[in-house]
Amino acid sequence: MELLTISKAAKKLGVHPNSLRNWEKRGLIKPVRLPGGQRRYSMDELNKLLQSGQLTNEQEAVVLYARVSTKKQADAGNLERQMERLRQYAKENGFIVRAEFADVASGLNQKRRGLANVLKLAEQGEYQKLIIEYPDRLARFGYGYIERHLRYCGVEIITIAEKEPEDAQSELVKDLLSIVTSFSARLYGARGGKKVRQGFRELIAGVEPDEKAAKEQKEND
């Protein structure tokens, strides 16, 4: 009897190895265990799974992820409305929502609990698609690295929004200024960095009124 490694069995089925581990947990497939604990799959078992039709009839599991930068945005309902749009998309496309995660943090923050859970479930093979509103919700910079890691885990990212909301530009300006102030503090020391940061805070304060005025002008037009 020919036995395949998990990587070869996954390639045979056209899925990621994490999918086989997940199917094992759900009782869809039972591998042979070697004395060392390694999994091996018989061709008979793989063919039986293919012929059963369980894979083609199975709804895809998805995870929803939403993010806003500030508590003020969350309190205004932006986070919940964002998540509701993701839920609606999942429902319209017949996906099974495995989990929902959200963060109130900058897109530059790499220590987000929600994002960490998104990656953890992907590594465990718990879902096939991650649904977000647009790329910056997942990460301001380094999106490509996260996308690559998720793809390696067998997860596809779906962005549902065609364009960013109007307040996204303000978030981007703040994130960029945060980077500049961080580097200025390193270059000029604590005292010099403090002066630079103060100057940038004043610049940030000037950005928001300008955006508000532009929005009001657009509504009046």
The catalytic residue among 69, 106, 170, 182 is 69
Sign of dihedral through CA atoms 24, 25, 28, 32?
positive
3-state secondary structure of 215: helix
Q: For residue 69, indicate whether it is catalytic.
A: yes
Q: What are phi and psi of 71, to 5 degrees?
A: -65, -30
Is 83 in contact with 64 (CB distance < 8 Å)?
Answer: yes
**List of residues 6+ apart from 95 with CB closer than 8 A:** 59, 60, 61, 62, 129, 131
Rg, Å, the chain Cα set: 23
Known catalytic residues are 69
